[in-house]
Structure 1
């Protein structure tokens, strides 16, 4: 039986969850560091990296483009770059790794030859036309027949620099892709955000921090302008910080069960924007009436499930981009929550409203949750299973995308989980 037909059955926690957990490295930082190290000249040592489906796809693709990657241990790599990328022998298959697809679509402009970037059936439904259009404006021959992957790039090894206009409504991953490419240009690039400002600016600062670590000069002179100097990247040693999105599940498990889980890093020490979720999590069970989620998008699934047990309703705003993640996460959250109780969540436009009910704690509410093959949907609804009897998660092994040990971590904290159908 395949992993997609597997089911995880979760037994509610018998008491507070306590223990120490070693978090995986950040997926966002790992894939940025992998690409930038690949574009640098010389050997870079990356430590603390995440081993997951997404980072595996990125490493395989970079190797296919002539980058040498030596695996030292489970969390350490030596990446040897030459300052350029080669045309691969065949299409770059990247599964459902959004960061890898977006970043490599832009980086393919540096290849002198043709590159096809593609992914699985889920990835082939995720929009990429705005990035393709931006690359065309930079003089790169790029095309996508459906507006989603596959994308074909006929690279010449160069692209146009100067003023680059992008919409502030775009996914930050598109803009991050252009930022990392721009440092490889011959002249200064000025990325102007139309509409005043990008919503998820925190993710752009992650990109800038990685770029700076490898010698690039990136500034944000205004909220609507990013300036990147030419010069490429310099090989260096770089440590990837733990994943803040993964931390949110442990923080929420603490809040739900009254436990104490040591993740080895305090919330204030994370540079990733999802760490901002710590504030509404520790406010539980009196979460804010409105949570603006544009700066912590990957944490919204965690917060939404936590809100199901809050004393008052919670409205999530600024989360429109969740519709174009691994699945439409707004609808996936509404679907899962209403399987637990029919009126537990509603959607108004792009806002998600969760009608919290503390009486769900300890209730028997059989609900089979469709994970939509989305790691964050699977992981967040496991939190509901800590308090509600009868929660089952479909395709639980999709967590391998970013947190391969997730189920084992919960077991080590004392949660009884039975996975059937593998």
Structure 2
């Protein structure tokens, strides 16, 4: 499929039942790839996600002298020397926010000139707070627009062993500094500027991955982390399935009254988006107000389900969705209103979904603009399970994190028309 393709979903006539194994976690895969690349020796990463985002990370590591082998569809074998060498060309990372932000901090402890860049979508995603933090550490870093490309002229060390970071827009800024800090030359301290932080649960994922690779991190308060200069030790590391991907399958299950076995109970996930399972399980009686601050990537799934809920739903704490792969609040309201005018509205950074169980079974032709955002495509596919005429534009964008998403739905009996 290409960016000009369209995919029209056939509504299902009964419950979806079967077994689908979601791909490995994107968030954990890209953390593990970087840490393995910073480690000395060979690490074996199993259960990994192979998608656009992780491919960009792997290719960037290769460009900086790290050996990354792929013996099968879910394994990376990474051999590093403990340093990321200056590449001969800019590092192109597509629209992979994790790879872009994590590498921007990591290469700041390299030696030489590094340019971290992405596609036209990534060039609209903010990175200024991380750039400002690195500049405060004495790093020669430039990002004229406040978004990629970022140019770093690294000398191999930070000039200070403490930094304050504004993480209100994204927890990825903190994760980036945490992972880099273990490769510093002295104990390092990171402090939050204010109490606001996007999706704090992702910091826990970062810390768990760092410790698995030998890092020592303490947290004397909720806003302070202290990292020892241990560097990283190569290890074998298994990656759990992607909780964000699981939300689409949980959504398809409750929307159709089906039973889909994803092979992992919701309680076994360590990723923040697994919290969405409790909300999704309440369908069609989801709460009137849903705080999405700690399960941001699950909100598109829940918002589409909300269109079929018994009562209206207001989504709060989702301002960060405006600076994801696209403005997801706008994309959700646009898509829902394409299905039926007035189905959603934006109130500041809140999203209000009017909800109407009577939508199910109707013929409501609508072309859903995905804005090249994988989560918009995958979440609106759920609407097509119950409404006739839902067409997803640029369906191939799911390749960013779930390349076989359409195959997974087809395996459950969902039909499509492709154009």
| Aligned 8 A contact 1:36 1:180 in 2 | yes
For normalisation by structure 2, the TM-score amounts to 0.98
The equivalences for 1:40-189 within 5 A come to: 40-189=39-188
User: What secondary structure sits across from 2:13 in the alignment?
Assistant: coil
User: What secondary structure sits across from 1:5 in the alignment?
Assistant: coil
CA offset at residue 317 of structure 1? 0.8
| Aligned 8 A contact 1:111 1:155 in 2 | yes
The equivalences for 1:254-269 within 5 A come to: 254-269=253-268
RMSD (Å), alpha carbons: 1.0
1:414 paired residue number: 413
Name the stretch that deviates more: 301-310 or 73-82.
Answer: 73-82
Deviations 1:89-142 (A, max 9, x none): 101111111111111111111221101111111111111111111110111111
User: What secondary structure sits across from 2:246 in the alignment?
Assistant: helix
CA distance in 1, matches of 2:275, 2:186: 36
The unaligned stretches of length 5 or more in structure 2 are none
| Aligned 8 A contact 1:334 1:346 in 2 | yes
1:392 paired residue number: 391
Aligned residues, how many?
Answer: 419
Deviations 1:51-109 (A, max 9, x none): 00010011010000000112121111210011111010101111111111111111111
The unaligned stretches of length 5 or more in structure 1 are none
2:232 paired residue number: 233
Deviations 1:138-177 (A, max 9, x none): 1111101211111110011111343211124131111111
Deviations 1:166-205 (A, max 9, x none): 1241311111111101111122222111212524110110
CA distance in 2, matches of 1:255, 1:8: 23
2:8 paired residue number: 9
1:307 paired residue number: 306
CA distance in 1, matches of 2:85, 2:257: 53
| Aligned 8 A contact 1:132 1:143 in 2 | yes
